Amino acid sequence: MAPRTPIGRELLQHDCGLGARFVAGADEAGRGALAGPLVAAAVLLEPAALSMEQVTALERLNDSKKLAASRRDELAAIIGATALTIAVVAISSSEIDEIGIQAANLGALSRALDLLQAPEGSELLVDGFALPLHARPHRALVKGDGTSAAIAAASIIAKTTRDRVMEQLDALSPGYGFGAHAGYGTAVHMEAITRLGPCRAHRHSFAPISLAA
The residues with which 126 forms a beta bridge, in sequence order, are: 26, 140
Average pLDDT over residues 43-55: 96
Give the torsion sign (CA, 121, 81, 36, 65).
positive
Predicted local distance difference test score (pLDDT) of residue 48: 93
* Residue 37 binned pLDDT confidence (cut-offs 50, 70, 90): very high
Q: Residue type at 167?
A: E
DSSP 174: T
Percent of all residues in the chain with a pLDDT value above 90, rounded to a whole number:
93
Considering only CA atoms, which of 96, 74, 89 is closest in space to residue 158? 89
Give the domains, in start order, of the chain with CATH numbers.
7-174 (3.30.420.10)
Predicted local distance difference test score (pLDDT) of residue 91: 98
The number of helices, as runs of H, and strands, as runs of E, in the chain is 9, 5
Average pLDDT over residues 153-165: 98
The rounded distance, in Å, linking the Cα atoms of 177 and 193 is: 10
* Residue 1 binned pLDDT confidence (cut-offs 50, 70, 90): low
Mean pLDDT, all residues of the chain? 95
**CB 188 within 8 Å of CB 20:** no
pLDDT of 60 above 70: yes
Percent of all residues in the chain with a pLDDT value above 70, rounded to a whole number:
98
Average pLDDT over residues 72-76: 97
* Residue 2 binned pLDDT confidence (cut-offs 50, 70, 90): low
Average pLDDT over residues 45-74: 95
Collect contacts of 4-8 with beta carbons under 8 A, ≥24 apart.
6/59, 6/60, 7/59, 7/60, 7/61, 7/62, 8/55, 8/58, 8/59, 8/60, 8/61, 8/62, 8/149, 8/152
* Residue 135 binned pLDDT confidence (cut-offs 50, 70, 90): confident
**CB 29 within 8 Å of CB 159:** yes
Average pLDDT over residues 91-110: 97
Predicted local distance difference test score (pLDDT) of residue 9: 95
Predicted local distance difference test score (pLDDT) of residue 133: 83
Give the torsion sign (CA, 105, 111, 115, 116).
positive
Considering only CA atoms, which of 74, 81, 35 is closest in space to residue 54? 81
pLDDT of 160 above 70: yes
